[in-house]
Amino acid sequence: MSDAAKRERAEQILGELSELGLMLARDLATAARAAEDPDEKTALVAAFQKTSRTVRLTLALDFKLQRDAAREAREVAESERRAAADAAQRETQIRKATEAAALGPARITPQEHQKRRVKAVLNRLLWNESEGDEEEYEILLEDLDARLYEAEDAPGFADLPIEVLAAKLAADMRLSGELVVTTAERFAPANNPQPPLADTG
């Protein structure tokens, strides 16, 4: 029997128990009101209190099972959403890497050149933010890659000043520390990458 089937069966049993307990509590309340003997009335009132408490606990357990089931469903849905998003991101990265490989190192696009410059500028901030934790650093680096992949299709991406683009990404990622852009990085033309070497063979 699956966990879902077991949970459904448990909820059915709890529902039946709560109904039976409620019926019994009503009978005890009626009998307690009608009793004339003080000892009998006391015993019936005590039995009613125990029964009504049992009913309350049964209902509380039933609600807990429902909340647990709803939480598990949300967690499963979120896990599936994340897996789909990760798969889509990996597919995009593979596609772009394939496209970049097809272009070859001598035909690097201005957008790719701009992305490399930004990553070089932000690399120290990423490492400082991760406090030397390599796993955390890799996560931050993947986040930066994803943001750059989204940004590169925007008009004028390759022409943006490196300090402007790097500062915006650092702010979006909430990176701490001072952003340092060297003069060489600031004025290196992203839209004019180095020409390929002449084929002397």
In tens, the pLDDT along 146-161 reads 888 888 888 888 888 8
Q: State the total domains in the chain.
A: 2
Answer positive or negative: Cα dihedral of 94, 95, 96, 98. positive
Does 33 map to a domain?
yes
- Chain Cα centroid distance, residue 179: 28
The answer to whether 51 touches 92, Cβ cutoff 8 Å, is no
Q: Across the chain, what does the average pLDDT equal?
A: 81
Does 175 map to a domain?
yes
Residue with tokens 């357990």: 61
User: Which of 43, 59, 90 is the endpoint of a domain?
Assistant: 90
Judge whether residue 190 has pLDDT over 50: no
User: Which of 56, 90, 124 is the endpoint of a domain?
Assistant: 90
| Range(s) of the domain holding residue 174 | 108-187
Judge whether residue 52 has pLDDT over 70: yes
- Is there a single domain that holds both residue 69 and residue 119? no
Angle at 80 between CA 78 and CA 82, to 5 degrees: 70
Q: Which residues contact 107 (CB under 8 A, 6 or more apart)?
A: 196
